[in-house]
Amino acid sequence: MLKRQFPCRPEPSRPIVTRAPHRPVGRFVSDKMHGPLEWESFLEWDHFRVLETDNYVKEYHPQPPPIDYPLDGQTRSYTADALVHRRDGRRVYVEVKYEEDAKRLDNVAKFEAIDSVCRKLGADFHVATEKEIRRQPRLSNAKELLRYRRVESKGRLELDVMEAVTTQRLVTVRDLMGAIRLPDSRLGELYALALRGDINIDLETAPLSPDSKVFRPYA
C-alpha cells in the first residue's frame, strides 16, 4: 500500500470539554487527521463524519486559533468549531449550529461580522446546521463508509484501481469491480480505498451500493 503523509495537527485553541454531566461529549478517531478529535455535541460528531468522508476536504481542525471581530463597538473573540482546508485551496471557518439557534437575531449579527473578517483574511465563513450535516443519504453513507476504515486491500488492488479509473470509462462501483475482476466478497476493500481518496464514490444522491457512481480521485 502506498504511504501517505498526514498533516501536523495543531492543538485546539481552547480546552475541549471531555466530561460534561448535562451534554454529550466524546472523541472521533480521524484517519484524515491522524488521531482523535474531540466533539462537544452529537451534531459536531456527525459533522466530523461528513468531513472525514468528503474527499474535497484535505484537512479539518477543530477549535482553530481564535479571530477577533468588531460588534456593537467592541472587539470580540471567536473560535470556530472547525477550520476546513479544501483541495481547491479554500479555507473555511465553520460554525456548527442548530438552525433554530443560527436564526437568532444576536447570532445573525455576530455571524455577519465574523463573515466580514474572514473574507478580509482570505477565508470563507459557513454556518453548518443540522439540515446540511444530517442530509440524507449523505450522512448515512458516511457512517456506512466509515465501517470499512480498517479494511486493508490485498495484493495490488490499489494499483489496479488507480489504473482502471484513469484508463477506462467507468460509471459505477460495479463497473470498476468488473474491470479489475474483483469478487463481491472484496467490495469492502474498494470502500476502504474510497475513504483514503484513491477513488471517489457518489455519497450524495443514493444509498451506498455497487450501483453507486464512481469517479476519478481528486488531485
Q: Is the pLDDT of residue 20 over 70?
A: no
CB atoms within 10 A of CB 121: 11
Q: Is the pLDDT of residue 3 over 50?
A: no
> What is the per-residue pLDDT for 218?
81
> What is the per-residue pLDDT for 23?
75
The pLDDT mean for the chain works out to 91
> What is the per-residue pLDDT for 204?
97
Smallest Cα–Cα separation from 51: which of 21, 85, 18?
85
Check if the beta carbon of residue 56 is closer than 8 Å to that of residue 100: no
Better-predicted residue by pLDDT, 115 or 1: 115
